[in-house]
Amino acid sequence: MFYESEYEYDIAILGNDPAGVKFAQRACHEIARVVLIEEARYVSEQSVAGLTRLVGTARFETEHKIICETEQGSLSLTAQQIIIATGSSSVSPRWMIEHPQVVFAEEEDSLEQFDCLAMASKDSIKLVSGKDRILEEVIASGIIGLSEEQGQIRIFLDSGKSILVDAVVAAQVEQRGCTSSLNLEAVGLFADDRGCLWCNENYETWTSKVYAIGNVVGYPSTECTIKKQIEIVMNSILALRTASVCV
């Protein structure tokens, strides 16, 4: 279907959530001009035919205009629809310390060389050992602090006891939406207390033609899968385009 637009891109996707790349794949099949803006440390290696990719930090200037800060300088671009797919990041528990042997669950692969690990959640600790991560013991206790001790990590428990392990994995921690750098206020948007965005049944935010998908969505993210979210958003965008052509 032929479609004229005053904007440089039909769709701009902001962020590094895997849902963003999946949406880009679908969008490039349906719509000609699609751009994905990813932060440098999270750039996906997945190739998407026909997709324009920019590496940098994106922020809103208007509901159709994005500023992308790259290593080469600032770029300005416009898009008919904008998809926020910035994902979420783990929030450090109070007991967590900055140490290469204390990581979040998504970073556990970095601890392959260690034998004895503590998988720490809010109210319990699972002690596992070996490369196959065989469960050794479950301790029903919370953590009040950590310290390094001769190349290992000592865990201080609220029971008054302590245990010594090779490394600690923080599991089931709070997630916070990665929205603080987007300048949402410029388009009349505000994140909730977890940094997430609330959307309608089409995953459109309270600002027209700005959508959100993936882990950055507050409501109604729990109600359907990423695949279904992408389907809903694409159907909404295609319906808008068809209506514009008919007018």
Q: Mark whether 151 and 199 lie in a shared domain.
A: no
- Is residue 85 a contact partner of residue 20, using CB atoms and an 8 Å limit? yes
Answer yes or no: is 153 within a domain: yes
CATH number of the domain that residue 180 is part of: 3.50.50.60
Q: Mark whether 52 and 108 lie in a shared domain.
A: no
Burial class (CB in 10 A: 0-12, 13-18, 19+), 222: exposed
Q: Which of 170, 199, 214 is the last residue of a domain?
A: 170
Contacts of 48 (CB under 8 A, 6+ apart): 21, 24, 25, 28, 36
Contacts of 228 (CB under 8 A, 6+ apart): none
Q: Mark whether 164 and 59 lie in a shared domain.
A: no
Q: Mark whether 17 and 83 lie in a shared domain.
A: yes
Contacts of 23 (CB under 8 A, 6+ apart): 13, 83, 85, 213, 230, 233, 234
Q: Token digits for 112?
A: 């392959």
Report how far residue 176's alpha carbon sits from residue 153's, in angstroms, rounded to the nearest whole number.
27
| pLDDT for res 243 | 67
Answer yes or no: is 17 within a domain: yes
Q: Mark whether 187 and 155 lie in a shared domain.
A: no
Q: Mark whether 186 and 235 lie in a shared domain.
A: yes
Q: Mark whether 130 and 224 lie in a shared domain.
A: no
Answer yes or no: is 3 within a domain: no
Q: Mark whether 162 and 185 lie in a shared domain.
A: no
Q: Mark whether 217 and 182 lie in a shared domain.
A: yes
Tell which residue, 53, 9, 12, has the closest CA to residue 32: 9
Answer yes or no: is 2 within a domain: no
Q: Mark whether 107 and 162 lie in a shared domain.
A: yes
| pLDDT for res 1 | 39
Report how far residue 79's alpha carbon sits from residue 62's, in angstroms, rounded to the nearest whole number.
10
Answer yes or no: is 84 within a domain: yes
For the chain, how many structural domains are there in total? 2
Answer yes or no: is 1 within a domain: no
Phi, psi angle pair for 106, to nearest 5° = -70, -10
Contacts of 240 (CB under 8 A, 6+ apart): 81, 209
Q: Which of 140, 170, 200 is the last residue of a domain?
A: 170
**156-162: long-range contacts, CB 8 A cutoff, minimum separation 24:** 157/125
| pLDDT for res 2 | 38
pTM of the model: 0.85
**Structural domain boundaries, residue 81:** 9-89+174-246
| pLDDT for res 204 | 97
Q: Mark whether 67 and 183 lie in a shared domain.
A: yes
| pLDDT for res 131 | 85
Report how far residue 48's alpha carbon sits from residue 185's, in angstroms, rounded to the nearest whole number.
31
| pLDDT for res 246 | 52
Q: Which of 114, 149, 170 is the last residue of a domain?
A: 170
Report how far residue 210's alpha carbon sits from residue 76's, in angstroms, rounded to the nearest whole number.
17
pLDDT in single tens digits along all 247 residues of the chain: 334 567 999 999 999 999 999 999 999 998 889 999 999 888 888 889 999 999 999 999 999 999 999 999 999 999 999 999 999 999 999 999 999 999 999 999 999 999 999 999 988 999 999 888 999 999 999 999 999 999 999 999 999 999 999 999 999 999 999 999 999 999 999 999 999 999 999 999 999 999 999 999 998 876 789 999 999 999 999 998 876 655 4
Q: Mark whether 180 and 229 lie in a shared domain.
A: yes
